[in-house]
A and B are shown apart, each in its own frame.
Chain A
Amino acid sequence: KAGVTQTPRYLIKTRGQQVTLSCSPISGHRSVSWYQQTPGQGLQFLFEYFSETQRNKGNFPGRFSGRQFSNSRSEMNVSTLELGDSALYLCASSPDRSYNEQFFGPGTRLTVL
């Protein structure tokens, strides 16, 4: 079974631009969560989607948004990029909402100049 895939793997943007990251969960998994990893803050939860609905949201500004499609694929968008948004963005999937183990993709490394 293929793992979680994320595209693109690397991205360079400038301040003020917006970016869209994509995540394809493991086949059959319906829950997708997004995390931001930075050296100073570690791994922080952004939001989680299940059946196309955002179920939970972390403590991030409204510039960070996401969505999930009917095939469980998910995208996250960051608008008006800031230097501090430079990070590794990780997507994780799990079979359903009662399953605790999450399986991570390789991440998208975003650099904001």
Chain B
Amino acid sequence: DQQVKQNSPSLSVQEGRISILNCDYTNSMFDYFLWYKKYPAEGPTFLISISSIKDKNEDGRFTVFLNKSAKHLSLHIVPSQPGDSAVYFCAASGYSSNTGKLIFGQGTTLQVKP
């Protein structure tokens, strides 16, 4: 039972355009969501997060949107750069449970073409 799903295994965009990565979740107890970026042979790097009390959070070129009614979140990267090419994971946690456990999606491989 996959509680966090990233249905697009890969995405290819042109440099300078917007990249939109999507994530769906099934567990309504999740109240904190994170995005990580991962390069080969490295650990995931934290990018941006959002609490369930918000519907948007921005950090530079990265914006995460949360639609609780649809149990859907998305990561927007504007403008996309070749260095953004990596695997992106969304993750969820039940903040109130404080259990230090993140549930990850399967990842989306983003390729940004120069």
Could you list which residues of chain A lie within 8 angstroms of chain B, going by C-beta atoms? 4, 31, 33, 35, 42-45, 48, 50, 55-56, 58, 90, 92, 94, 97-98, 100-107
**Which residues of chain A are near B95, meaning CB under 8 Å?**
98, 100
A107 adjacent to B102 (CB under 8 Å): no
B43 adjacent to A104 (CB under 8 Å): yes
A-B CB contacts (within 8 Å), total count: 65
What size tier do the contact residues of chain B reach? 20 to 34
Could you name 22 residue pairs across A and B whose Cβ atoms are closer than 8 Å? A4-B43, A35-B104, A42-B107, A43-B102, A44-B104, A45-B101, A48-B99, A48-B100, A56-B100, A56-B101, A90-B44, A94-B100, A100-B32, A100-B93, A101-B34, A101-B46, A102-B46, A102-B102, A104-B43, A106-B42, A106-B43, A107-B43
Residue interface mask B20-54, A partner, CB < 8 A = 1? 00000000000010101000011111100100000
Could you list which residues of chain B lie within 8 angstroms of chain A, going by C-beta atoms? 32, 34, 36, 41-46, 49, 89, 91, 93, 95, 98-107
